[in-house]
Every structure is written in C-alpha cells, then in structure tokens.
Amino acid sequence: MNTFLAALFSGTSRGAIFALVALGLVIVWRGAGIVNFAQMGQAMFSTYIASTLITNGNSYWVGFFVALFAGAAMGALLDILVMRPLSNKKKTELLSSDSMRAAVPVIASLGILGALQALAGILWAAEERGFPAPAKQEGFTFGSNVMPFTAFDLFVISLVALTLVITTLFFKKTGIGLAMRATALNQEVAKLSGIRTNRTRTLSWAISGAASSLAGLLITPTSNLSPNTLDLVLIVGFTAAVVGGLDSPAGAVLGGFILGMVISFVTFYDTPEDVFLSILAVLLLVLLIRPRGILGSKDVRRV
C-alpha cells in the first residue's frame, strides 16, 4: 500500500514536470511546425544560469526568474537566428522536398542542442552539481508515519497547475493568444487578418522556452544538473506529447501525467533500468494504435 502511494505521488509530481516539457514541445509544434529537440538543452542552460546566480549569493527566486527569462530569450533568439532564416529559404536544393523540409529544422535543433551542451561543459564543467529546491524535500509526517510526499512535490504540482491555468487563459482569452492560435492554424488567413505571424511565432518559441526552463528548474533538485541530465527529460516529454497528440496542449498535459505514472510505477514495482524500455513500449504502442495521439485531432492542417 505504501509503495503504491509512493508511486502515485511521485508519478504525479514527475508527471506535472513532464506535462510542462510536453506543453513546450506542443506550443512550438503548433506555432512553427517544428519539434524542438534543443528544448531541454535550453532548459539545462538556463538552470545553470540560475545555479550560478544562487551559488554566488543571490536568492533562489532571483535565479528562478532570471532562468525563466533566459529560457524565453533563448527560445526567441533560436527562432530569429536559425529557424526563421531556414523557413524563408525554401528554394535551396536540399530543401526542395517536403521530407527534407521536415528533417532540416530537426537537424538544426540538434546542432543547437550540441552547441548548448558543449558550451555548458566549457563554462560550468561536466561534473554533476546539485540544484536547490525552494521547499523541503523530506516527506510530510502524519503522526509517526513519513508520507511519500514532500513540500517540494506540493510546490511543483501547484506551480505547474498555475502555469497550465495561466497559459490556457492566455491562449483563450487574450488577443495575442488568439493571434498565436490563428498563426498556428492557418498562416495565410492570419496574415490577411493583419497578424504579424513572424512575431507571434517567435513568441511561441519564447513561451515554450520559458515553460521548459521551468521544467528544468523543477526537475534538477531531484536529478542533479549536468550538461546531459535533461536529455532523458526531453525524450519523456516528446513521448508524452506524442501520446497526448502533438497538436493538443490538453493532450500534452494528459500525456505528461501518463508518462509520469508509467515511469514511477516501473521504478517502484520493477526496476529503474526498465524505464527506457517502458517509454519506448508506450511510444510504439501509441504510434501503432493511435498515431495522432489520444487527444490529437485527425485532420487539423498545419500550414
């Protein structure tokens, strides 16, 4: 029973973080038609920035907000410097086919991932370091029992829930949110409506960058920080996004929690070594049964 509860709680708080990562991927996918494999590289980098600030005597929250901002700025820069020039470059020989047009941005994002990881190695060495949590990481006590649920878990879950509510409201209720959705759904009509699609797309990258930086800040207290620690998180986030449906923000959240549970239960009841294989199994299963994901729409056309 206790194992079950522990797995459930850990699955919830991990799932919340994976939901954020998946949401970051979905936002860029919808906005720009690109899966950003550099996403967790950006998160790693901004978490290092936070770590440096904090070890130099700044408060956790200074590091926290600077990291979110850095994540957003990196996302925006990545779009402006790399992805936008690439999408304006339709006529080169290599980009002449649809399949290569899909492949080349992926290659570019892998290059960015590599560059960020190498740069982090140069700036901060490759050794793992810890990253602080803003709340206690010991389980709540209930009478004489220690519950498998910590103040930090609570912090993670409430922060992620807050973020999800804010992003949902932003997309549904604000003009910029509407402009971003319109750009993602139909660029031509968006442009004809006077929406500056280049800017809204850059904004998608920035929001996604901030969301994934938040994920980085929330996961590193339990996983430590090194240039490569977040690679696994990207894989899980990608799988979560595909499980939920790459074009569905709600699906991303659902997928995140599913993956959180799967990983947590495999870890508690089987062995951590099977985590990768279970992720692969979930991914292949979904791709075979429902390639568009659980909440992915069948014929939403991206432009």
Partner 1 sequence: MLKIENLVTKFGSVVALDGVSMTAHESKITTVIGANGAGKSTLLRTISGLEHPAQGAITWQGESIVGRRPEDIVRLGIAHVPEGHAVISELSVEENISMGSLFRRRKFKSDIAKAMDEMYQLFPRLQERRKQLAGTLSGGERQMLAISRALVSRPQLLLLDEPSLGLAPLVVEQIIDSVNTLCRTTGLTVLLVEQNANTALGVADHGVLLALGKVVADRPAAELKADENLRAAYLGY
Partner 2 sequence: MSNLKAHSIARKSLIRTFLFTVVMLILGSRFDAYNQAQLALVLILFIGVLSVTILTGISGQLSLGQGALMAVGGYSTALMMINYKLSLWIAIPLSIISAGIAGLLLGVAAARLSGPYLAGTTLVIALAIPTLANRFMSVFKGDEGLPVDVGYPPAWFSNTFGEPSYEKWQIYVALPFAAIALFFASNILLSRSGRMWRAIRDNELAASLNGVNYSRQKIYVFIVSATFAGLSGALYGLRGLVGPSVYPVSLSLTLLTAAVLGGIRSISGAFIGTVIVVYLPDWIEKALGNFSLSEQVSNFLPALISSLLLILVVVINPAGVAGTRLHKHK
The sign of the torsion formed by the CA atoms of 291, 294, 300, 302 equals negative
Q: Which of 197, 202, 212, 220 contacts partner 1 by CB under 8 A?
A: 197
Binding segment for partner 1 (CB under 8 A), chosen from 4-12, 58-66, 171-179, 219-227, is: 171-179
Whether the CB-CB separation of 78 and 42 falls below 8 Å is answered with yes
> 264 to 293, contacts with partner 1 by CB under 8 A?
none
Whether the CB-CB separation of 240 and 252 falls below 8 Å is answered with yes
- The tokens describing 250, both together, are 């709600």
Whether the CB-CB separation of 4 and 216 falls below 8 Å is answered with no
Other CB atoms closer than 10 Å to residue 21's CB: what's the count? 32
Whether the CB-CB separation of 224 and 131 falls below 8 Å is answered with yes
Q: Which of 194, 273, 289, 298 contacts partner 1 by CB under 8 A?
A: 194
Helix (H) or strand (E) holding 281, with range, is helix 275-289
Q: Among partner 2, partner 1, none, what does residue 147 contact (CB within 5–8 Å per kind)?
A: none
| Residues forming the site for partner 2 (CB under 8 A) | 29, 34-35, 37, 81-82, 85-86, 89, 92-100, 102-104, 106-108, 110-115, 117-119, 121-122, 125-126, 231-232, 235, 238-239, 242, 246, 273-274, 276-277, 279-280, 283-284, 287-288, 291
Under the binding rule (CB under 8 A), the answer on residue 191 touching partner 1 is yes
Instruction: Give the total of residues touching partner 1 (CB under 8 A).
Output: 19
Instruction: Tell me how far, at minimum, the Cβ of 13 lies from partner 2, in Å.
Output: 23
Give the three-state DSSP class for 140. strand
Instruction: Tell me how far, at minimum, the Cβ of 177 lies from partner 2, in Å.
Output: 24
* End-to-end Cα separation, the chain, in angstroms: 50
Residue number with CB closer to partner 1 (43 or 190): 190
Helices 2-32 and 39-55, packing angle to 10 deg: 110
Residue number with CB closer to partner 2 (8 or 106): 106
Note the residues at the interface with partner 1 (CB under 8 A).
Answer: 175, 178-179, 181-182, 185-186, 188-197, 297, 300
